[in-house]
Every structure is written in structure tokens, then in C-alpha cells.
Amino acid sequence: MSKTDTDTSRDREELGAAGSQLSTAPQEEQTSLPGLGVIGWARWFWRQLTSMRVALLLLLLLSLGAIPGSLIPQTGADASKVEDFRAAHKTLAPVYDKLGLFHVYSSVWFSAIYILLFVSLIGCIVPRTWQFVGQLRGRPPGAPKRLDRLPAHTAWRTTADPERVREAALALLRKRRFRAHVVGDAVAAEKGYLRELGNLVFHIALIVLLVAFASGQLYKSDGTKLMVEGDGFSNALPMYDDFKSGSLFEPDDLVPFSFTLKDFKGTYELTGPNRGTARTFQAKIRYSKGAYGKETTTTIKVNEPLKIDDSKVYLVSHGYAPVITVRDGKGNVVYRDAVPLLPLDGNVTSQGVVKVMDGYRDAKGKKEQLGIKAFFLPTYGGAGMEIASAFPALLNPVLNLEPYHGDLGVDSGLPQSVYQLDKTHMKDYKDAKGAQLRDNLKPGETMTLPNGAGSITFEKDVKEWAGFEIVQEPGGGWALTGALAAIFGLAASLFIQRRRVWVRAVRGADGVTLVEMAGLGRSESAKVPEELGDLAGILYDQAPGAPDPDDDSAATPDPQAVPAEGAEK
């Protein structure tokens, strides 16, 4: 091997030492599979699990695993849809059950991916954090022997003393927010530590997101409540119409508060191509926090929920609740209430059922139960427009009633919907023509039941109801913090360049000082040569070049920083 080859190899080793630890990424080592033994296999598995490629693979698998949870009905979100899916897909449903696709986020395979990703991120972050702390406590390494072999390099000769040049370079680099110090005959400086900090912040933020997501799923609660104007609600399990919660949720975890729906208001476009389009939906409520909290009036709008600690109260639906009075054969009032009806279309055509379970007696004094099918049109369009409402507002309200009498089946112990009528043990009322009794009523009108069986009155007061969703997610704040930190950390790791600069000043045999400047970045970037040229220009003003009859090019620095390959022929 020639002396030149030996020097080149040595220079490369020096350059590698100077450019080392510009990143906290672990070194890739070529390791062979361990021999037999539990410790060897465990060590090999841990190295693979904490590698960056495995972390990215697990993150990809987690994203892919969440797709079935978005496309397939989930028992935790809507159990009725899951049952409908099972009824419609007799062959596919058992396969989904075995794979846990009806409860993806609590399945064994999804939890395994989740936990492995969590462990992998921790295994990556801990050693990199310690390495980064060590770099912060240390100082930039000294200059390589051959600065002209670095990617960006420039040099010139000056009559200034080497000490004066190094002092000027040290002051200049520190002014530019470099961490700089003098090492031997050169000044070593480094900048861009926030790049690695951003990288670590990004990975830590991912862990925060995972923890927030897990806690949100385990301790969350989600319930709905339909309330007619004037109704009250207290945040307790018996008050909900429907309620879902995480596996670690306890009833005592509910935030204590209560509220009353004072008024609901909805406005719509009256004319133009957007006629009937909703303009505003808002619910005026009075709420209090805790058992003895002060009552406060506020308005809940769509996408503007009421926030009380970790709970949010959303306005999600609305409809009409006509007030209906039922009298028995003797004229006694046996039922009077606002009956919420469910909308069927955008014009709030609604239907529901009135169930009179106790207190009713017919003309002969016989005890019976009444079931009345109700069909409501907020704006009746006249003959030929009896199927659907013509407008969502109460411009010409009409209530269609279809009464039945007999046994509602509520005493059988089997659950049934309050919006559906089981006519198995019910009989219809006949009109004078022998047809099913049915009539359209306007506010204030009364339907008389045949044979003195009583009457049904559609009162003039038509109330409105609002549907609320009360959500409690304790990890929401942490998730938002983690997401913002991940964004800023990723931006820092992408846009901040970590680089090093060396300035060497030595006196030559002829008494003239040779100044060399070189820069090295973690990645190939045009910023290092440009920055080095700017620094060289400022330093050259403080240590001007000396004329050299043998080499005029050495008198002035190259503003573009000569590449290493062209520095020596």
C-alpha cells in the first residue's frame, strides 16, 4: 500500500470522527443470529423491536388495523347495527366474530400491535435521549487534520496573527448562536441541536397520543338524552336514554352537573332555492355544576357544545312534541303530555306512539290500555300532500291519529320501544263506515272515540324537543397536546439543519497566517456552503487576505465554499 493510500484512509477516519454523533439515531450493526439460549434470543428480539424500521412497520399495521373499525359496525358504537349485520350476513358474521372485527379496538390482535408499538417507541426514545443529553453536556469535536476534504471548504492567507483570527472567529460564531470553543489551533462550532430535540419530541408525542387514546377508550363515556322543552337532566346513569362506556369506567367518574332545557329554536330559509334549509339550531338551557352550583344560562348550538370539566354536551337532533290529552269514557283526563315524535325527513315529517298504560276505562268501566299511532306534519300541504310535510317549521301543523285499544304487552316483562306499537293484542276502533278510525287534527281539535270510549285532543301547544349527546373523554386534552407537540417536533426535525463549522489559523514558514474554514452537515444541504461563505466573508473583513504572487486565488475566500473533491489535485 502506498503512502498516499495510507493518508487517504487516515483522512477518512478523521472525517468520520468529526462528523460523528450529528444524530442520536442508533448505529446499525451487522449482528448474526444468537446461538441457542433464552437470553440470546431475548436480546435479539429486543434489538429488532426497538429498531426504527419495526416501529414504522407497527405504526403502519396500527393504521391498517383501524380500517375495519371504520368500515364494519362496532358493538361499542352501535350494537343494533351489529345485530342487523349478523342477520344480513349469516356466513360472514361468524368469521368476523372469530377475527374480532366487531370490536376491533379491544381485540387481542389490535391490542398486541398497540402495546408492541408503545414498547418499541420507549425502547427507541430512552437511549437516544441519554445520548442527546450527553451531546448537550459535551463540546463540539476538534477539527479534522485535513479540512480541505470536507464537503464545504475555503481558505486564504492573511497577515493577521493566528490568535487574533481565532478570537474573531470564536466571537463571530457565538454571535451566530453556534456553540463554539477553541481546540488547539482551530475553533470548533456546532449549531442545530433543536433538530434532534424535535425528533425526540415527535417520538415522545406519539407515546402521549397512544396513552391519551388508551385512557380515552378505557375511561370514556358516551350517552344520549332526548329532552322536551321544560325537561331537566342530571348527569347520572338512570337519566340516559342510551349509554356506552369504556371497560374501566365507573359511575362515580361522571362529572356532576345538571341542566334544564328552557327553549329550543330552529329557523329556516322561507324563500329562494334554499327554501327549507336550516339557518340556526340552538337550545337555551340553565345548568349548574355540582349539587349546589350556581345556575347559569347559556345556549348550545350545533358544533358549539357546553363544556363542563371533561364533559361536553352536544346538540345533535331535534323534533316536535305535540301535547296530547286523552279522556276516558267518563270524561276524566287519564293522560296529558308532550309526546316526542321522531323525524322521518328533512321537513321534519314525524311519527311516534302514544301509550296510555294506566287509568283508562271505557264507557262500561272496563280497564284497558290505549295505543295511538301518531303522524305529524309541521306544515300540512292540503289534499294530496298528506304523506309528507311541505316545510320544517310550524306553519300549518296537522296531527294524524290512529287509535287502538286492548293490551299493550308492557306487563309481559319484555322490553319494547316507546316509538313502536305492538298490535298483537290490540283492536282498532271503527268509524261510522266500519273502516279503521283515523283523523287529521289541527291544534285545539278533538277526536271522539266511538261508543263513548272517550276522546283524544290535540292541544294548541306544540313543544319542541332536542337530542343531546353527553361525551366524557378524560384523555382529550393530552391527545391535543400530543398532536400539537408531534407537529412542531416533526417540523423541527425536517427544517432545522444540524451542522458543524471549523476555523483553523496557523502561521506558515514564511510568517503569513493560513486561515482555513470548513463545514459539515448531517445531510446534504445547500445551507452549509451558503452559511460558510457568509461567515468567511465576515471573517475575511476582519482578517484581510495577504497578496501571494504564487497563488492569487488564496488571497480571497471562495464565497461558494470549494467542494472537498476539488480542493486538492
* Domain positions in the chain: 41-132, 141-192+497-542, 221-472
Predicted local confidence at residue 449, as pLDDT = 92
Residues in CB range of 342: below 8 A, 6 or more apart: 319, 350, 351, 352, 419
The mean of the pLDDT values for the chain is 85
Q: Is 106 exposed, middle or buried (0-12, 13-18, 19+ CB in 10 A)?
A: middle
Q: DSSP labels for 258-289? A: EEEEEEEEEEE--SSTTTT-EEEEEEEEEEEE
Predicted local confidence at residue 185, as pLDDT = 92
Identity at 276, one-letter amino acid code: G
Return the percentage of the chain with pLDDT > 70, whole number.
Answer: 88
Residues 309-328: what's their mean pLDDT? 93
pLDDT tens per residue across span 334-362: 999 999 999 999 899 999 999 998 889 88
Predicted local confidence at residue 272, as pLDDT = 82
Residues in CB range of 500: below 8 A, 6 or more apart: 18, 19, 22, 140, 141, 188, 189, 190, 191, 519, 520, 521
- Across 67-81, 354-368, 453-467, the highest mean pLDDT is recorded for 453-467
Predicted local confidence at residue 278, as pLDDT = 85
Which grid coordinates belong to 130?
441519554
Q: DSSP labels for 227-243? A: EETT-EEESSGGG-SEE
Predicted local confidence at residue 563, as pLDDT = 46
Ranking 107-116, 124-133, 476-485 by mean pLDDT, the lowest is: 124-133
Ranking 8-22, 231-245, 371-385, 470-484 by mean pLDDT, the lowest is: 8-22
Residue 259 pairs with which residues in a beta bridge? 233, 287
Tell which CATH classification among 3.50.50.60, 3.10.580.10, 3.40.50.300, 3.30.310.80 matches the domain 141-192+497-542.
3.30.310.80
Residue 22 pLDDT level (bands cut at 50, 70, 90): low
Better pLDDT: 523 or 235: 235
Ranking 108-122, 414-428, 539-553 by mean pLDDT, the lowest is: 539-553
d(CA 284, CA 278): 17
Residue 448 pLDDT level (bands cut at 50, 70, 90): very high
d(CA 313, CA 336): 29
pTM: 0.67
Please check whether residue 490 is in contact with residue 194, taking contact to mean a CB–CB distance below 8 angstroms. no
Dihedrals phi, psi of 228, to nearest 5 degrees: -85, 150
Which grid coordinates belong to 391?
316545510
Residue 554 pLDDT level (bands cut at 50, 70, 90): very low
pLDDT tens per residue across span 289-298: 987 888 999 9
Q: Say how far residue 248 (Cα) sits from the centre of its chain.
A: 21
Identity at 425, one-letter amino acid code: H
Identity at 481, one-letter amino acid code: T
Name the residue among 413, 329, 406, 316 with its Cα closest to residue 368. 406
Residue 1 pLDDT level (bands cut at 50, 70, 90): very low
Dihedrals phi, psi of 318, to nearest 5 degrees: -160, 165
